[in-house]
């Protein structure tokens, strides 16, 4: 009876020791880093959605002062519709074409917003309108948040991809996580992807 107890205790100690050794050699790094990539991407999406949510009020405010700029306003509305129609979530984050379509749509929206801001320069009453100034400030802040979120996503993807490609992560990937692919990054779809395209305010 006592021999069995010692044997059980010894086996338990071996299991605990092995668990400790395995956890210390990076067996959990790949899924941990993968979750960090997904979390970072959620922040990118949140900031782009925040920008999209500001646009209807911005368009309405500009329209009140510059109704004749219908072409520019329509371009912003259409670019927003396209940008919000292309979704990249955890299930499609590995699809480089979908990520590229998403980024191109966001870049088009950035360009349309830049043209809208350039138009606003021709309307002094609009430029001094408090609602417009508040929206302009929020949009500038959101562009900065987009840049930070994109930078964090790029760093998370680089950490994950490096873990898969280097020792000992490469071994764990082969043995246990072979279904987890190399992640695509913004750098694969656009130049200077670590910086969000800026909406320029005069």
> Do residues 152 and 43 touch, judged by C-beta distance below 8 A?
yes
- Mean pLDDT, the chain, rounded, equals 84
Distance from C-alpha of 98 to C-alpha of 61, rounded to nearest angstrom? 33
26: three-class secondary structure by DSSP: coil
Q: Range of 148's domain? A: 2-188
What pLDDT was estimated at residue 13?
A: 61
Asked if 171 and 85 touch (Cβ cutoff 8 Å), the reply is no
CATH of the domain at 154: 1.20.1440.20
Global confidence as pTM: 0.80
Question: Any idea which of 74-78, 132-136, 176-180, 191-195 has the lowest mean pLDDT?
Answer: 191-195
pLDDT grade for 186, boundaries at 50, 70 and 90? confident
Confirm whether 24 is domain-assigned: yes
- Residue 62 belongs to some domain of the structure: yes
| Number of domains the chain is built from | 1
d(CA 111, CA 38): 27
Residue of higher predicted confidence among 16 and 111? 111
């Amino acid at each position: 009876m006592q021999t069995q107890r010692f044997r059980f205790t010894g086996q338990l100690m071996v299991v605990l020791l092995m668990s400790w050794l395995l956890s210390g050699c990076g067996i959990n790094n790949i899924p941990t880093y993968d979750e960090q990539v997904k979390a970072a991407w959620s922040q990118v999406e949140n900031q782009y959605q925040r920008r999209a949510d500001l646009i209807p009020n911005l368009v309405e405010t500009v329209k009140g002062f510059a109704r004749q700029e219908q072409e520019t306003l329509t371009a912003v509305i259409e670019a927003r519709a396209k940008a919000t129609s292309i979704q990249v979530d955890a299930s499609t984050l590995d699809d480089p074409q979908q990520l590229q379509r998403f980024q191109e749509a966001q870049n088009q929206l950035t360009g349309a917003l830049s043209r809208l801001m350039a138009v606003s320069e021709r309307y002094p009453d609009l430029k001094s309108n408090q609602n417009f100034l508040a929206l302009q400030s929020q949009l500038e802040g959101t562009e900065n948040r987009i840049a930070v979120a994109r930078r964090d996503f790029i760093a998370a993807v680089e950490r994950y991809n490096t873990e898969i490609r280097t020792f000992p992560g490469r071994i764990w990937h082969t043995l246990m996580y072979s279904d987890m692919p190399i992640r695509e990054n913004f750098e694969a779809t656009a130049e200077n992807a670590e910086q969000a395209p800026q909406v320029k305010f005069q």
